[in-house]
Structure 1
Amino acid sequence: MELIDRWYSIKGWWTWMGSMIAAPCLWAMATFGLMGIERNDPASWIFTIFVFLFSGILAFISLSMVRTEAFRQTHYPIRLNRKTRRVYAYRPDGSIIAVNWDDLFLCVVENELTMGQTSYDVRAHVLADDGETVVDTFTLAYAYLGERAGLMRLWEYIRRYMEAPDGPQQSYNTTEICMPINGRKEGVVFGLVRTFALMVKWPALQLLASPLWALTTWGRWIAMATCKVPFWPAEIEAACQPDPDDPYRKDWRSNGRYGFWELVWPAICLVVGSLVVLTGVVWLVEFMWGAFE
């Protein structure tokens, strides 16, 4: 079984947010730099240096936000081998951790987020020989919205696969959709579907929040286009080959067709949201351009 990392679901968020902050900062640096050269007086140069320092720091921070998603890996897979009892996890730095399932110390961790929000994840600790010292750790399971109830359902799904006698059959029957990312990048269509999936049960809210989700969709497309697909080393692939006649084999090819509410409606919301964002950007550029004329 292969799982996705905790960052995959929201990929695109930091890309558009960082880009929206970096763009005016870079614009300010270019504009006031030309202004300082044109006027060429001490007061203008002092102000230009101040703008460069302030905008440069903001641009660096915002571009670092973009870098957390773009020009990296499309995702960071976690692979569970039920037969060999091994767990393999890709890490953001490109390294891979391999450990025995039965040697992991598993616990639920509560994370304090911004604005008083809380998320939960199942953390897998690798212990030293003393059984107490943590020498390595990674996130094994993370619910999309971070709620504890959803996390525990996901954990039970993983636990049964690894420990229940009929684990593969249970997983096969429970899995409704597989991410189309094994050895490939997700397509443009799935990127749209995945982004708007958060509110698939509330189409009216999808339309209301369409500017936000449109930005995230564009950010996701950009981030995915700049990222590389992760590949497991040959020895891991060799150890995890499924049987040719495995009756519980399932991947993205087993997914059904998207319906109106899964694809067509998000596409409509994307167009509406993009037009709203574009209108706002045009207005802002005209306002800022007029302010400096």
Structure 2
Amino acid sequence: MSSFNTTEPILEKFDKNDISRLIDLSNSVGWDYDENEVTTVMSSGRIYGHKNEEGLIVSSAAIIDYSSKLASIGMVIVREDYRGMGLGRKATEKCLESVPINTPVMLIATEEGKPMYEKMGFTSIDSVHKFLCDNYEQSITSSTNNYNIEPLSEEDLYGLINLDTEAFGVNRETFLMNRINQSKDSLVVKSPDGAVIGYGLSVKGPVNLILGPIVATDSQTALLIIDELAKNHIGKLRIDVPSGNEIFMSKLEKYGFIKVSQPPIMIKNSNELPLRNNTLYGIAAQIFG
């Protein structure tokens, strides 16, 4: 902590007028939040943090509450000059206080943040696998067993939300509507009778095209969704894959994706995540769980 920071900054809830300063905070630690991503976070949940006397945002933490069954914390950032003051913990505690007591709260931790979360009562229960691809080349050409992959339409939303609820374990309709609005492409997989049996979104960030959520009946269908989302993109791709999808991850590596990290999933007020049906192949982003 620098010697000139003698007054503790003020903790507050941020609004849309703070978006540019939150992006500046993100940039200060090398993270790549942009206006669209921060807007989706705000529209889906709440962001708290500290401002100094000059109005500079020096910390943040966000919480997305899906229901009394689960909330997700992310965007926990402290500007380097203000570390050591407990600001990250205080902002995170404010997030926890904003949801009903005993609500299970999950987060996907950085190595730097993990000790703080452990002191706050979070425990590691699983992990996600972060994959990057520098330049995707279309290479998946197998059939989808007569399934059709097509752009999402309004009439598909009910089926998509139901699929996501079963895959993720809780209903997150508000977030999904915001994420769809943010997405570059939104696709659904349909059976021959027109039923929605899978879906995938892509979101263009400052650095990567983010692939997720990806929900599918099997790994090959998940790969075909990825292929459809990525095939015309020139640039870097990212997908974060839940554990338990080892066959899928091995196939990703064959198609040019490289695993770069495996951050832990941590949880408080529960010993496990809500029951899922093993159809979630890619998460939306670490902040959203």
TM-score by length of 2: 0.23
More strand by share: 2
More helix by share: 1
**Higher relative contact order structure (alpha carbons within 8 Å, sequence separation ≥ 6):** 2
